[in-house]
Structure 1
Amino acid sequence: MSLSIFGFQANWSPYFLISLLVITAFYFYVTVKKRNAFQESEPLTRNEIGYFMSGMVLLYIIKGSPVDILGHILFAVHMGQMAFLLLLVPILLMKGIPWWVWEAILRKSAIRKPLQFLTKPLLSLIIFSMFFSFYHIPLIHDQIKMNELVHATVTSLLFLSAFLMWWSVIDVTRNQKTLHGLKKIGFIIASAVLITPACALIIFASEPMYATYTESDAWLKSMELCVPASTLADIDQAGITLSGPELFTGMSAVEDQQLGGIIMKIIQEVIYAVLLASVFFTWYRNEQAGADEITEQAMRDLQAKA
């Protein structure tokens, strides 16, 4: 059965798209037109534009395109959504906002003080890992997916917790005190280890765990998160019975569930590997530069004594 039966609004989320376009327009208004209003500023770079636009496009694909409907039909797609939403989009957006905008934001004590506390490396890592693990406990996950307000709130908080976690790794300002290179590497590895049990539980489960992907009533209720109730009613009146995800896939619920855990783990490993490589080579270059400076200073001292 085709996803087109759910209609244009459910498949392409025009209101969500408009919201992202407004945010994007505001981004360029602040960073280009109003740049001179900041105490310090620099012209927007191509890299910053690329990071920000990549983050916004990826966010729309994840939550606004037909991928979002597929995420309510296939658990494997849902896990791919979560991987990109939590492990990549925050990084892209953080790197896309210029350092001088971040510094202007952080000058406000009402923002700076809570952020300094919530972004403490160990605390932010524990908060994100616990949030992620609890979210995927079957009973909790099913309840979240059957209430629109709860789902929006929890997803937003989970995204925020990912943002806070990455704060210790991504340098967003020139004066930001992030972790030292080797500590960043340890932090990334610790993050990978802490979310592994949730993925392993999903991968090695021998029975379907989530009612919202296996039971008709729970699945239909969860579909209301992305498909208007009126559309679902129209489909029912047209004589089409939506009994469950099996109408759209030949994969069994267990296979779909296991594939979801594998996809999450693979995406996480790839993103973390790229981050580790970036952090390591940046640290190595800095150490080499520091060593050269020390050597040059020592030579100058020797020449002065001579």
Structure 2
Amino acid sequence: MPLSIFGFRAMWSPILIGVLVFFTVLYFLVTIKWRKDFEYSEKLKKGEAISFVFAMIMLYVIIGSPIDLMAHIMFTMHMVQMAFLLLFIPIFFIIGIPNWLWKSTINLPYIKPAFHFLTRPIIAIFLFVFLFSLYHLPTVFDFIKLDETLHGIYTFVLFMSALFMYWPLLNTVEDEPRMKDLNKFFYIIANAILITPACALIIFSSTPFYSTYTDGETWMKAMTLCVPSSTLQGLTLSGPELFTNMSPLEDQQLGGVIMKIIQEIIFACILGRVFILWYRNDQKNADQMTEEALKERKRLYANQYHN
């Protein structure tokens, strides 16, 4: 059955387009036209602008395009959505915002203590893993999926926890605490390990967990998160099996596998970047130490000669 039966609004989320365009325009106004109102502001870099715009485009693709509609029909697509929303987009969002703007925001009176607490490596990693794991408990998941406001709030909180989780890895803001390169290796590995139990329960379960993907009546209620009620009332649908050949259990297991695979790929890329930066810094420090040693030796020879 085609997705077009749910209508244009459900498939393409025109309101979200307007919201994201508004924030993109605001971003360029702040970083270009109004940046002189901020202390220590700098000219917007091309890479920063590209990263932010890319994050906005990906945000629309993940939660505004038919992918979002499919995520309410298939658990597999839900996990694809979660993987990109929580593990991919935050990287470009952090990189896309200039350091001077981050610094101005972080140093606000009420934000600074909370931000520094929530971005401590141990707090950040456990907060993200806890919220992600809690969300995918069957009773919690089905409860949140049946309330549009609660679903929106929890998704936003989960996204913010992903930003906090990535901050220790990507932070380059002056005077902000930075994690050592070696510690970043352990941090990424710990993150991958801690999120594994939640994925494992989903993958190796012998029964499907979520009523919002197995029970026709509950599924129809959950569909109101992305489809107008007036549209759903005009449709006669029994459940998500009309849109997929997979059984609910196969759909659930595949979703868990895909989530884990995407996570491993993203974390492997981050590990590679950390290793390259660590190697370059190590080489730079070694060359600097060698140069300083040669200068010291020359100085000693010069003193001996004059004496």
Same fold? TM cut 0.5: yes
Letter in 1 for 2:192: A
Counterpart residue number, 2:133:
133
- Asked whether the 8 Å contact 1:208–1:257 carries over to 2, the reply is yes
What is the correspondence of 1:45-124 to structure 2 with a 5 Å cutoff?
45-124=45-124
> Does the Cα contact within 8 Å between 2:79 and 2:259 map onto a contact in 1?
yes
SS of corresponding position for 1:73: coil
Q: Determine the structure 2 residue equivalent to 1:166.
A: 166
1:282 is aligned with what amino acid?
Answer: L
**SS of corresponding position for 1:70:** helix
The equivalent residue for 2:242 is 247
For 1:99 and 1:175, how far apart are their aligned partners in 2? 11
Give the aligned residue type for 2:31: T
Comparing 100-109 with 260-269, greater Cα deviation is found at: 100-109
| 1:273 alignment partner in structure 2 | 268
Query: Which of 256, 265, 283 is the aligned partner of 1:288?
Result: 283
Query: Over residues 158-209 of structure 1, what are the superposed CA-to-partner deviations in whole Å (9 max), with x where a residue is unaligned?
Result: 1111111111111241332221001011101100000011111111112111
Q: Which residue of 2 aligns with 1:256?
A: 251
Cα-to-partner distance string for 1:257-295 (whole Å, 9 max, x where unaligned): 111011101110110000000011101111111121111
Amino acid at match of 2:151: H
Deviations 1:57-109 (A, max 9, x none): 11101111111110000100000000000001111101001111111212323
Distance in 1 separating the partners of 2:153 and 2:160 = 11
% of aligned pairs identical? 49
| Cα displacement (A) at 1:33 | 1.2
Contact preservation (8 Å) 2:172, 2:178 = no
- Alpha-carbon contact 2:128-2:161 (below 8 Å) kept: yes
Where structure 2 has 5 or more consecutive residues not aligned to the other structure, the ranges are: 302-307
Q: Secondary structure of the equivalent of 1:195?
A: helix
Structure 1 stretch 118-127 or stretch 174-183: which is displaced more? Answer: 174-183
Q: How far apart, in 2, do the equivalents of 1:226 and 1:66 lie?
A: 10
The residue type paired with residue 107 of structure 2 is R
Tell me the TM-score normalised to structure 2 length.
0.96
5+ residue gaps, structure 1, are 236-240
Q: Which residue of 2 aligns with 1:14?
A: 14
2:120 maps to a residue whose letter is: K
Is the 2:87–2:263 Cα contact (8 Å) retained in structure 1?
yes
In structure 2, C-alpha distance between the alignment counterparts of 1:106 and 1:198, rounded to whole Å: 32
- TM-score, scaled to structure 1: 0.96
Q: What amino acid is aligned across from residue 297 of structure 1 in structure 2?
A: E
Do the aligned partners of 1:75 and 1:257 also contact (CA within 8 Å) in 2?
Answer: yes
Partner Cα distance (2:38, 2:141) in 1: 43
Higher gyration radius (CA): 2
Q: Distance in 1 between matches of 2:178 and 2:257?
A: 31
The alignment partner of 2:225 has SS state of coil
Q: Partners of 1:144 and 1:105 in 2: how far apart? A: 31
Q: Is the 8 A contact 1:6 1:232 kept in 2?
A: yes
Question: What is the Cα deviation at residue 142 of structure 1?
Answer: 0.7
Deviation at 1:233, TM superposition (A): 1.2
How many residues matched? 301
Structure 1 residue 150: deviation in Å?
A: 1.2
For residue 277 of structure 1, what is the amino acid of its counterpart?
G
Contact between 2:219 and 2:239, CA under 8 Å: does it hold in 1? yes
Distance 1:289 1:209 in 2: 52
Q: Deviations over 1:20-41 (max 9, x none)?
A: 0000000011111122222223
Equivalent-residue separation in structure 2 for 1:172 and 1:16 (angstroms)? 31
Over the aligned positions, Cα root-mean-square deviation in angstroms equals 1.0
Residue 301 (structure 1) aligns with: 296
State the secondary structure of the residue aligned to 1:250.
Answer: coil
Q: Determine if contact 1:95/1:172 at 8 Å carries over to the other structure.
A: no
Match of 1:238 in 2: none
Q: Which letter maps to 1:37? A: D
